[in-house]
Structure 1
């Protein structure tokens, strides 16, 4: 029984619902890709089109795979969980302001947490780009020269400690206000769990954001939701694309704060960082050491 639980923990850390690589997300994405392949008729086999050797065999992708493993081991170790302070802050804030009198449904709370969380991630993302002292940590993510779903996990281990801490603190404050001001106590367990709206967003083409497959939503929907093509624009080396599309799921924040870039047809984009030659060697040593060496110099 103990061994079974350990195996389930390992599986959950790598392929649980919190991971974009969960089968619940990969399977529908693959089915959608197959339909796209039939529609576009690229002239090559489906798997050769979806997972081209030039991308999946690239040294940049091999580094993504290693960093994904390191990040999942951090999750498995419980270190990231211990830094998730959402329930503690939520409880403290709720106790400080007393009990609420207005009822809130679980779905309303989930929607509120999703929107607040997405706005938080937007501003955290902008800070990572705009604050030169901390940019080297995020630069590792943007040094990817090819993109696959694993590129979503191309982060320095220190970044994987900092971002969850800041994010969970904000969500904890908002959760505490919702519990205290409103009558949302019975749904507090959902706050620290898998948000239903986040699950929906993960299933809705999220794995194509870090990929070579261009999928735009058109000018109307791209003012509301970040399309895979818009996130590829965010990774582009072209100057006109710099500082655009910081949103995680919703693009309304980019629209509101002047960083939105709408796609108009398929654009020829290149990925990577032209001014980071050491990071683009795609070695584990450079990935772990170079950001720390440059950290705080801005």
Structure 2
């Protein structure tokens, strides 16, 4: 493995498969400008504190740390190809034939079906991992780093603790590798993904129409009927709210149907929303605090649990002696 190169940094902004591709950022700026013409009193994307606040600087620090860390970790992590091969060989072992549906579905239909299924299942898996990040206390300790952002900007999407980054990498590898293997087994090797500039066509459309405004102060909302199916930028901003009535709402990435099915959907709120966490620390945006505090929270929770069990045991023993 060679030294860390400039292409590792530039790729985040030049690869259409990446959310921060310059084209997606340009479209976000254009959409934010159009929205400001219609709603001149709402916050703007180009406000100084959006990009130069302590919170925004912390976003950048975590982006750098994660890029360097994953450059060294990536060769040692499970790969999508390895998962796809393993699942494919398993399926062949169960039914020793591949391409069982190849003759019954035309090539374009196979490509569109594969592209759509991959997009939907990937989106569903993102929803479930995100839900677990909120519902499981030790996972929340790491995901809290993302929610500690007090100002949202497109870089905030990369404000993640390295542990969360590893978990989402495994999610992507396992889900996408499995879907690819199943598609190859069903349709044979002559299978292509429908893409635009190398990105899944549905992912491209999602990013081109303002995905980067989800982490921004620009509350773009959709008509109520559309927000029942597609999560708007304003709905994701509500997910970052400090208000109790917004806790654990709008967990999805693209599709709102998962949130509606599992009771976490909330219509967008068109009033200003305070973002961040209610137990904000004075040095919340310092790099050392961002990286180490999750472990401190977990250790403290374990100690409290042990202490509580010890107290319960003593209480039980006294009660037993009294009964005897």
| TM range, smaller chain | 0.7 to 0.9
Aligned to 1:270: 274
1:83 counterpart = 2:77 = yes
Aligned to 1:204: 209
TM-score, normalised to structure 2, is 0.80
1:183 counterpart = 2:177 = no
Name the SS for the 2:190 alignment partner: helix
Inter-CA distance 79–214: structure 2 relative to 1 (3 Å threshold): same
Which residue, 54, 57, 70 being the options, matches 1:59? Answer: 54
The answer to whether the Cα contact below 8 Å between 2:63 and 2:159 also exists between their aligned partners in 1 is: yes
The answer to whether the Cα contact below 8 Å between 1:105 and 1:184 also exists between their aligned partners in 2 is: no
Cα displacement string for residues 41-85 of structure 1 (whole angstroms, at most 9, x for unaligned residues): 349xxxx9322123322111110111112223345x263465252
Which residue, 118, 122, 137 being the options, matches 2:127? Answer: 122
Instruction: Give me the whole-angstrom Cα distance separating, in 1, the residues matched to 2:157 and 2:7.
Output: 23
The answer to whether the Cα contact below 8 Å between 2:83 and 2:177 also exists between their aligned partners in 1 is: yes
Instruction: Give me the whole-angstrom Cα distance separating, in 1, the residues matched to 2:152 and 2:209.
Output: 18
The answer to whether the Cα contact below 8 Å between 1:142 and 1:235 also exists between their aligned partners in 2 is: yes
Inter-CA distance 67–190: structure 2 relative to 1 (3 Å threshold): farther
1:20 counterpart = 2:19 = yes
Aligned to 2:251: 246
TM-score, normalised to structure 1, is 0.87
Aligned length: 287
Inter-CA distance 165–188: structure 2 relative to 1 (3 Å threshold): farther
How far does residue 9 in structure 1 lie from its aligned partner after superposition? Answer: 4.6
Runs (5+) with no aligned partner, structure 2: 93-97, 103-108, 303-324
32-41 or 229-238: bigger deviation: 32-41
Which residue, 278, 287, 290 being the options, matches 2:290? Answer: 287
Instruction: Give me the whole-angstrom Cα distance separating, in 2, the residues matched to 1:138 and 1:184.
Output: 39
Aligned to 1:95: 89
The answer to whether the Cα contact below 8 Å between 1:13 and 1:72 also exists between their aligned partners in 2 is: no
Q: Name the larger-Rg structure.
A: 2
